[in-house]
Amino acid sequence: MSFANRRRVQGDTNKTKIVFNSSTFSPQQVVYASHPLLDTFAMRALSRIIIAGLILATLLWLRGQFFKLHQSILALDRLSQDGGLLSSHVHSNNTNASSAAVEDPFRAVMHAISNTLLNGTIENLATPKSGLRDTRTKVVVVAKTAKEHTQWVVRMLPNWKHAIYVTDDRKAPLHTARNKGREANAYLTYIIENYDNLPETIAFIHSHLSSWHNDQNAAKALQLLNIDFVQKNGYANFRCHTTPGCDPVEIQPFRNKKEQARIDKHEAATENAFAQAWTDLFNSTVVPEQIGVACCAQFAVSRDQVLKRPLSHYIWFHSWLMDTSLSDATAGRVMEYLWHIIFGQDPVYCPKVWQCFRNVYDQWDVFS
């Protein structure tokens, strides 16, 4: 390939214009040599790629370090539990060393960071929006059987005291007198045993971390719980979605037999028992026509709301639960649909889903 000539473009000393022989190329075909601006752009692009790579490598390294940290914390927890330093059974009025060990701020922060990076779980450090540590007293009351595991309560809720009642092991530090009445037995036992020394907020939950009837896992629900709402309203149901329990209203004691034949047999058994149970428990023959609340007997209450009833009421509720001829399942379901009424709410307590999430969890991104 021969060149006709090579010359500088007039007025521009930064680029060389190469004109090829017109017999070989058309006059419009012009090639420019390497331009310094193009070199600068390429260098910037390369620099950005290198920086992005370094950032990615750093993040992967940090993830590995936090994974090691997370594993170390879990190992310390297991070691402490084996040595008897941490207990899953702490009374609400007990401020012994095991409770202090669980609530150590450094350990709480480490759990928060490691769980956030590894699992996307946000550990609540009990710091309200004001930035001040929430010093209000609170306890989580758990009903469980001996075979059910509740280590997650201690590990994931370091800022809550724990009262874990075993319903089928009378040698357990906290236990019920009999294995009857399901979770209602443990809930009432706690209130009766601690009536004169209740914390400001009491949460009542099942033993499992996750379940079909939880809107979110139990630890997250407690971490996000809006204590201000509990104190103001007196009662907060942990479940916001309205089925089952509210949509349609679950308990209709005076439903006709034809309609009742279409519903679930457990629901029908509860309805058939409800009117007499209401009369026995509240000494009243004025039974509501509809009773509705989102299932399934997991909620938080304020101390003030509990104390609006005398201790004798809770003792009577517990006696009824122990002595009733109803099956264990039916008696437990009757109580499931009475807790909100016991703690001051209307027989049908079914807030909109979005309203529940805003009130109970301070979550404003739910619109259904």
Burial state string for 247-285 with b = 16 or more CB within 10 A and e = fewer than 16:
eebbbbbebeeeeeeeeeeebbbbbebbeebbeebbeee
For residue 125, pLDDT beyond 60:
no
109-118, 198-207, 243-252: least confident range: 109-118
CA dihedral 195, 198, 202, 205 (to 10 degrees): -50
Separation of CA 247 from chain center: 23
5 exposure class (CB count in 10 Å sphere: 0-12, 13-18, 19+)? exposed
2-11, 155-164, 197-206: least confident range: 2-11
Residue spans of alpha helices (H) in 244-337: 257-260, 265-282, 303-306, 311-323, 328-336
pLDDT, mean of residues 265-277: 93
- Residue 137: pLDDT band (50, 70, 90) is very high
d(CA 327, CA 292): 21
> What is the token pair recorded at 272?
């058939």
64 exposure class (CB count in 10 Å sphere: 0-12, 13-18, 19+)? exposed
For residue 326, pLDDT beyond 50:
yes
Q: How high is the mean pLDDT of the chain? A: 79
| Secondary structure of residue 288 in the 3-state scheme | coil
For residue 120, pLDDT beyond 90:
no
Q: Residue 86: how many CB atoms within 10 A of its CB?
A: 21
Sign of the C-alpha dihedral computed for residues 176, 294, 134 and 117 taken in this order? positive
For residue 189, pLDDT beyond 80:
yes
25 φ, ψ (degrees, to nearest 5): -125, 155
> What is the token pair recorded at 204?
């009542």
Angle at alpha carbon of residue 30, lines to 24 and 31, rounded to 5°: 110
- Residue 328: pLDDT band (50, 70, 90) is very high
> What is the token pair recorded at 342?
């016991």
More confident residue, 103 or 39: 39
Strands (E), the chain: 3-8, 16-20, 31-32, 138-144, 161-166, 201-205, 235-237, 292-293, 299-302, 348-349
On whether the CB atoms of residues 108 and 123 are closer than 8 A, the answer is yes
11 exposure class (CB count in 10 Å sphere: 0-12, 13-18, 19+)? exposed
Structure letter (DSSP) for residue 251: B
On whether the CB atoms of residues 274 and 250 are closer than 8 A, the answer is no
- Residue 67: pLDDT band (50, 70, 90) is low
Q: Which residues have a Cβ under 8 Å from the Cβ of 174 and sit 6 or more positions away?
A: 89, 91, 163, 164, 165, 166
Sign of the C-alpha dihedral computed for residues 294, 296, 302 and 306 taken in this order? positive
Residue spans of alpha helices (H) in 165-215: 183-194
